[in-house]
Amino acid sequence: MKPDADLGAGSFADLALRPELVTVLTGLGYEEPTPIQREAIPPLLEGRDLVGQAATGTGKTAAFALPLLQRLPEGQRSKHPVALVLTPTRELAVQVAEAITRYGVALGARVLAVYGGQPITAQLRVLQKGVDVVVATPGRALDHLNRGSLKLDDLQVVVLDEADEMFDMGFADEIEAILGAVPSQRQTVLFSATMPPKIDRMSKRHLSNPVRIQIEREKAPAGEAPRVTQTGHLVLRANKPAALARILDMQQPSAAIVFCRTREEVDELTETLKARSYRAEPLHGGMSQEQRDRVMNRLRNGTADLLIATDVAARGLDVDHLTHVVNYNVPSAPESYVHRIGRVGRAGREGVAITLAEPRERRMLEAIERLTGQKIPLEKVPSRADLLASRLAVTRQALVEVLESGDVEGVRAMVEELSASFSPKQVALAATALAHRAAAPADEEDIPEVTSKPVRPVRDDLPRTSTKAERPARKASKAGTAKLYIGAGRATGVRPQDLVGAIAGESHLTGKDIGGIEITERFSLVEVPETEIDTVIKALRSSVIKGRKAIIRRDRDS
Ligand code: AMP
């Protein structure tokens, strides 16, 4: 069977894009357009102006990049750019320029990122040689316009990317000046995550009869959002494989599906996980039906427990024993998040949905929360100490089971012989240490924590000011007391009485023994007597706070 044959309608080929562009997208492993691409590309190809409300992570870059690349002439090209893309920061300028270069590789697109802080002479040289697309921060773009090094005579398209950010950073005047200098017969495209009135006013002034697109238009019908424990983790891209492995080790899912964006990502992640001894199988639209059936059988008969898949390939998939859904990236549309997590938590069973988000994808996460009306609490990736503690609980449980069943045949004689030289306690300690070491995780580094607040970008033409560390200064604990860290906070609705209730209910402490309580957005700190902290940690480990299992440990800062 031909790959992709039964994977549903709505491909890039249906969007009337040039074959060179479609080939590149297939090569990149993109299986289908994201919702913003499906809606924005056709009107943009017709030459319409467009206002799109979409955040990073929706695939908006390709939504405006592909139509502007479509305009590049086949033969001789002018020295002056066909398209100008304005972005709020140098980081985004570089990222967008890289994306346009990638999408335009088969067309030989000449793309230049232009931003402050970089020597202007290098930019002048490239502009002088000729470019097709300029991606610029507004300050530097205006600078080049004033010098005459950026000529807009042949410009056909202007894109304002992340317009709200550009306004917030004080670029309104520069944008007005640039839009006043571009030919009036151009296409203007504006993308913004939010639509404050000032952006609306600007679009009325500079865009002509624009198509309006908003990706979170659909509202999930009330009560339809599945009952699933949802958690998010902010992780830098480079740490994602390690973070996923740590989370899987902690969660021990019996059957999980991990969603990726592209075929390449599926293949790469499957290989990485296999190399770490996980039983992972890939599933994407580039595989034949026979290959996909084989993978599904492995999942059903338990020879695999992780399915690494793209949305397209997982569509219509029927696995009824899935316990976990992992989003390796924030999905490109809030609706697809709802579809994905709907695969677990069926028929009254418990389901877990975990989302790895890069800091820049936070807005998408918030859009999902608005759509589902449910919070996705952000938690730290479990540390090595958390994992060790949970493994210890597993070892303990296994020991209790053997003790209760009395099934110790085969080792009795050896233990009796050892008892002649060692005390029973020494033998028990050594045996337990052996069992625990076998279950302990590899000696890995901890995964660095990422700040949960988006760092406000700074204008690249202004001196940078230092940003304060996010973590609040904590009070030291009183003498004789120690602080308990509980990985649940305001975001999950935790109140002081819930913490006192859980501690008093699970341990022999009473409300009087519990000292100060500090509740932050994501975690809580509770003062307990130093002599009791280990007992309390043990007692709380299997308890549930506000309906969820939370990480419990000694606070590292106390
Ligand atoms: P953006 O919202 O433009 O920053 O894109 C987010 C990410 O999605 C980028 O890593 C893109 O490479 C990726 N992406 C964009 N369009 C698609 C698509 N149709 N299929 C899979 N991945 C995509």
Instruction: Please give the sequence-ordered ranges of beta strands (E in DSSP) within 267-330, or none if there are none.
Output: 280-283, 306-310, 324-327
Pocket test for ligand 1, best of 61, 64, 330, 360 (most atoms within 8 A of CB): 61
Answer whether residue 471 shows pLDDT above 60.
Answer: no
| CB of 230 closer than 6 angstroms to any ligand 1 atom | no
Query: How many CB atoms lie under 10 A from the CB of residue 106?
Result: 15
CA 166 to chain centre: 24
Instruction: Please give the sequence-ordered ranges of beta strands (E in DSSP) within 155-294, or none if there are none.
Output: 157-160, 187-192, 211-214, 229-234, 256-260, 280-283
CA–CA separation, 222 and 314 (whole Å)? 25
Give the amino acid at 529. Answer: P
Answer whether residue 225 shows pLDDT above 60.
Answer: no
SS3 258: strand
At 444, is the pLDDT very low, low, confident or very high (cuts 50, 70, 90)?
Answer: low
Residue 435 to residues 384, 385, 391, 415: CA-CA distances in angstroms? 18, 18, 10, 15
- pLDDT for 455: 47
CA–CA separation, 233 and 216 (whole Å)? 22
Nearest CA to ligand 1 atom 16: 59
| CB of 59 closer than 6 angstroms to any ligand 1 atom | yes
**Strand 157-160 with 83-86, pairing:** parallel
| CB of 187 closer than 6 angstroms to any ligand 1 atom | no
Q: 23 C-alpha vs ligand 1 centroid, how far in Å? A: 16
Q: Which residue has the tokens 């670029």?
A: 171
**Residues contacting 493, CB < 8 A, separation 6+:** 546
- pLDDT for 452: 53
Q: 45 C-alpha vs ligand 1 centroid, how far in Å? A: 19
Closest ligand 1 atom to 310 CA: 21
Q: What is the pLDDT of residues 113-152, one digit of tens each?
A: 999 888 888 889 999 999 999 999 999 999 999 999 999 9
| CB of 87 closer than 6 angstroms to any ligand 1 atom | no
Q: 253 C-alpha vs ligand 1 centroid, how far in Å? A: 28
Mean predicted confidence (pLDDT) in 317-329: 87
Closest ligand 1 atom to 262 CA: 21
Q: 109 C-alpha vs ligand 1 centroid, how far in Å? A: 19
- pLDDT for 6: 40
Q: 59 C-alpha vs ligand 1 centroid, how far in Å? A: 4
Nearest CA to ligand 1 atom 19: 33
Nearest CA to ligand 1 atom 6: 57
At 425, is the pLDDT very low, low, confident or very high (cuts 50, 70, 90)?
Answer: very high
User: By mean pLDDT, which of 320-324, 453-457, 462-466, 545-549 is the weakest?
Assistant: 462-466
| CB of 33 closer than 6 angstroms to any ligand 1 atom | yes
Q: 60 C-alpha vs ligand 1 centroid, how far in Å? A: 7
| Report field, pTM of the whole predicted structure over 0.75 | no
Largest CA distance in the chain: 96
CA angle 273, 274, 276 (to 5 degrees): 65
Query: How many CB atoms lie under 10 A from the CB of residue 435?
Result: 16
At 464, is the pLDDT very low, low, confident or very high (cuts 50, 70, 90)?
Answer: very low
- pLDDT for 348: 60
Adjacent-strand bridge partners of 283: 309
Q: 97 C-alpha vs ligand 1 centroid, how far in Å? A: 14
Q: Which residue has the tokens 């209760």?
A: 404
- Which value, in Å, is the radius of gyration of the alpha carbons in the chain? 28
Closest ligand 1 atom to 60 CA: 3
- pLDDT for 155: 96
- pLDDT for 476: 55
Q: Which domains does the chain have, with CATH numbers?
A: 12-214 (3.40.50.300), 228-372 (3.40.50.300), 384-439 (no CATH), 481-554 (3.30.70.330)
Candidates 120, 111, 100; CA nearest to 77 is 111
Nearest CA to ligand 1 atom 20: 30
Q: 57 C-alpha vs ligand 1 centroid, how far in Å? A: 6
